Amino acid sequence: MADIKTATVEEWQTLSSILATFRIKPQDGTRFPDYSPGQYMALRRENCRLTKKVVGPDGQPHYVTDVDASGKPKHGTVTHSYSIASAPYETQEKGYLEFYLVLEKDEFGERGRLSGSLFEINPPDDDKLTYVNRIVGDFTLNKRANGFKNVVWVGTGTGLAPFVSMIKQLDFQAARGATDGVRYTLVHTNRTYGELGITRNCSRSKRPAGSISSTSRR
């Protein structure tokens, strides 16, 4: 059985109408598992819009909002995995995990089941989510780039998150004299301006969240 725990969203920063970063802290007296840059964690919310699969006139399957007998949308628990954007040293020193979130929308303009619920978070009135107390994934430098002297990262949208974690950890280690001699280059692209996270003046956080940046280091 999965080990489910509750976290508090302590910082939320809206970067655009569809893009945000947020930080979570575990319950008092607990800590998040150790991890490597590039790994991910499963997050969940209890009050999410539920969907069901239907076959459209074109014969293709679609997912639409599920409703009860009275026609009201059903809500329930939805779980989804998100790459961690914070670096291990940040979690060890300050106790938080940071995530990079895009508000998904389906072909009918409906918000994503979990991302839509996450975008409704409003600390401190509504600042809780649950998570699976396990961090996993093999999209790490040791697994994917071991032995290479030139590494190029290509991230689209919130696919930038694992590279942000890697960059911050590498920068932290390099500042302390621990360099690996590898040249890292990050290419970050998006379909729309809103996905770039340029807008910074609509934060709902009481304290500014850490910025996401890209770096090339030798």
Cα–Cα distances in Å, from 52 out to 65, 73, 117? 6, 11, 17
Mean pLDDT of 95-99: 98
Name the 3-class secondary structure at 172.
Answer: helix
Q: What is the pLDDT of residue 21?
A: 94
- Residue 206: the pLDDT is 37
- Are 23 and 203 spatial neighbours (Cβ–Cβ below 8 Å)? no
Among 2-11, 114-123, 154-163, the least confident range: 154-163
What Rg, from alpha-carbon coordinates, does the chain have? Answer: 19
Which is higher by pLDDT, 217 or 76?
76
* Number of folded domains that form the chain: 1
**Per-residue model confidence (pLDDT) at position 84:** 98
Residue 31 lies in a domain: yes
Q: What is the pLDDT, as a whole number, of residue 198?
A: 54
| Residue 23 near residue 204 (C-beta atoms within 8 A) | no
24 domain residue, yes or no: yes
- Is the CB of residue 162 less than 8 Å from the CB of residue 84? yes
Q: Which residue has the tokens 């280091």?
A: 217
Q: Are 183 and 216 in contact (CB under 8 A)?
A: yes
The residues near 11 (Cβ < 8 Å, ≥ 6 apart) are: 22, 23, 96, 123, 205, 206, 207, 209
How high is the pLDDT of residue 200?
42
Please say if the pLDDT value at position 40 is more than 60.
Answer: yes
Q: pTM (2 decimals)?
A: 0.85
In angstroms, rounded to a whole number, what is the distance separating the alpha carbons of residues 164 and 101? 13
Domain for residue 174, yes or no?
yes
Could you tell me if residue 207 is inside a domain?
Answer: no
- The CATH code of the domain that includes 13 is 2.40.30.10
| Residue 132: inside a domain | yes
pLDDT given at position 216: 36
**Beta strand residue intervals within the chain, DSSP E:** 4-16, 19-26, 40-49, 51-55, 61-65, 75-83, 97-102, 128-136, 150-156, 183-189
Give per-residue pLDDT as tens, 120-148: 998 888 899 999 999 999 999 999 999 99
Query: Is residue 121 in a domain?
Result: yes
Give the pLDDT confidence score for residue 115 in this predicted structure: 96
**Residue 63: inside a domain:** yes
Closest CA to 186 of 201, 205, 206, 171: 171
Query: CB under 8 Å to 107, separation ≥6 — which residues?
Result: 62
CB-based contacts of 147: which residues, under 8 Å, 6+ apart? none
Judged against a pLDDT cut of 90, whether residue 108 lies above it is answered with no
Q: Of 92, 97, 103, 160, whose CA–CA distance to 131 is shortest?
A: 97
Q: Which residue has the higher pLDDT, 43 or 57?
A: 43
CA distance 116 to 49: 8
Residue 203 has pLDDT above 50, yes or no: no
State how far the Cα of 50 lies from the Cα of 63, in Å rounded to an integer.
10
Its domain, for residue 80, covers 4-196
Does residue 34 belong to any structural domain of this protein?
A: yes
pLDDT at 201 over 80: no
Residue in the block written with tokens 């947020």? 22
